[in-house]
Amino acid sequence: MSNPALTAETIPHDDPFALFETWFAEARASEPNDPNAMALATATPTGAPSVRMVLLKGHGTDGFVFYTNFESRKGLELAANPQVALLFHWKSLRRQVRIEGRVVEVSPAEADAYFASRHPLSRLGSAASDQSRPMPDRATYLARVEALNSAYPDGDVPRPPHWSGYRVIATAIEFWIDRDHRLHERRRFVRDDADAPWSSTLLYP
């Protein structure tokens, strides 16, 4: 049949990391803004959830990397409960990818290298921020940025010890393709741990 919603399955079943790499490359070519944006869901030990957008800054068979302030709300929740979920939604491609797993901290050397690669103002902004905590007004934050800028006019402020990254070790990865009339295609890959082989199955949409 010519209707693409009625085509046979098209999501391969062998290697979820290779498939993610292919889809991510296509998203970088087609998405107008931040193809590496992903929703990050965390929860407290009692199960209260929260979600926000963060940026993917590295990925491979060893996991999916993002950076944050460890003293922020998400940092505190991750310290207490390392289980997370990620969601990429690439509207231009009519695709999404869901990832579930646990986080581990990146090495200090990896965090230093990424922090040094950021724009000077981004480094200053991160160092000046008590992320997620109340502040009296925006001028207070900007004054802290300016004070750091005066102390480090080249923007080479050191990485704060509480600012680093996490790597998500995936135990489930689900790929979804939007089809007309909600006849979507979904394939879910699962494994018991990072050293186990993947298994996959199609899911009803």
Between CA 19 and CA 37 the distance in angstroms is 18
- Long-range CB contacts (within 8 A, 24+) of 182-185: 183/5, 183/6, 185/9, 185/10, 185/11
pLDDT, tens only, 126-151: 988 888 889 999 999 999 999 988 99
CB half-sphere exposure, 167, CA atoms < 13 A: 15
For the chain, the first-to-last Cα distance in angstroms comes to 20
Provide φ and ψ at 2, rounded to 5°: -85, -20
**Confidence class for position 2, pLDDT limits 50, 70, 90:** low
Task: Give 182 or 76, the one with higher predicted confidence.
Answer: 76
Q: Are 69 and 126 in contact (CB under 8 A)?
A: yes
pLDDT, tens only, 77-126: 999 999 999 999 999 999 999 999 999 999 999 999 999 999 999 999 89
Q: Report the predicted TM-score, pTM, of the whole model to 2 decimal places.
A: 0.90
Between CA 113 and CA 128 the distance in angstroms is 19
* Segments making up each domain of the chain, as ranges: 4-116+161-203
Residue with the two structure tokens 């290779």: 18
Look at residue 10 in the predicted model and tell me its pLDDT: 87
For 4-116+161-203, CATH number?
Answer: 2.30.110.10
Q: Are 183 and 7 in contact (CB under 8 A)?
A: no
pLDDT, tens only, 37-47: 999 999 999 99
